[in-house]
């Protein structure tokens, strides 16, 4: 039998999570009636091939994940832009309806809700700055450097 058959057998065992060399060796030696030394020579080659294959698979999975993540982020940006356009349209319609009905109670309330949502979405209601207080210091002196 060719060594490729032996290596393929060992790789299949590795794929099946049989990573204990002694257990795989026992099965290998019984099946192919070869010595332990022959098995361990092929074991080393099979492990190298298996590890190289796993590295390629992992690299491909990482690339696929990165592409999918980029696409997801792109879609979230598009949906944010679309939401901005939609809220602008609702704001305009609500304003128009409020003006057409001379400010009926329900229309004004709806308009105010849309205006509040629009302000939140665009960040108008975020605080512009935070107050800072310094405790324990009563005087700050800045002295010029001597040249």
Long-range CB contacts for residues 101-105, cutoff 8 Å, separation at least 24? none
By CB atoms closer than 10 A (0-12, 13-18, 19+), residue 79 is: exposed
Three-state SS at 77: helix
pLDDT tens track for 72-121: 888 777 677 787 788 788 878 777 777 777 766 777 777 778 778 777 77
Predicted confidence (pLDDT) at residue 59 exceeds the cutoff of 90: yes
Average pLDDT, the chain: 81
Asked whether 18 and 12 are in contact (CB, 8 A), the reply is no
**d(C-alpha 121, C-alpha 23), whole Å:** 63
pLDDT number for residue 114: 78
pLDDT number for residue 42: 92
Predicted confidence (pLDDT) at residue 147 exceeds the cutoff of 70: no
Short-list 137, 130, 131, 98, CA closest to 114: 98
pTM, to two decimals: 0.49
pLDDT number for residue 131: 65
H runs (alpha helix) in 33-139: 36-100, 105-122
pLDDT band at residue 44 under the 50/70/90 scheme: very high
């Amino acid at each position: 039998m060719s060594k490729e058959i032996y290596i393929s057998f060992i790789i299949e065992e590795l794929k099946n999570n049989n990573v204990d060399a002694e257990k795989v060796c026992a099965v290998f030696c019984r099946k192919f009636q070869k010595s332990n030394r022959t098995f361990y020579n092929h074991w080393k080659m099979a492990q190298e091939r298996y590890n190289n294959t796993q590295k390629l698979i992992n690299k491909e999975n990482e690339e696929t994940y990165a592409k999918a993540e980029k696409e997801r982020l792109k879609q979230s940006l598009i949906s944010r832009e679309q939401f901005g356009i939609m809220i602008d349209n609702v704001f305009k319609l609500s304003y128009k309806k409020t003006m057409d009905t001379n400010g009926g109670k329900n229309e004004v309330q709806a308009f105010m809700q849309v205006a509040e949502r629009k302000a939140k979405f665009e960040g108008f209601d975020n605080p512009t700055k935070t107050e800072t207080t310094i405790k324990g210091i009563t005087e700050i002196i800045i002295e010029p450097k001597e040249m």
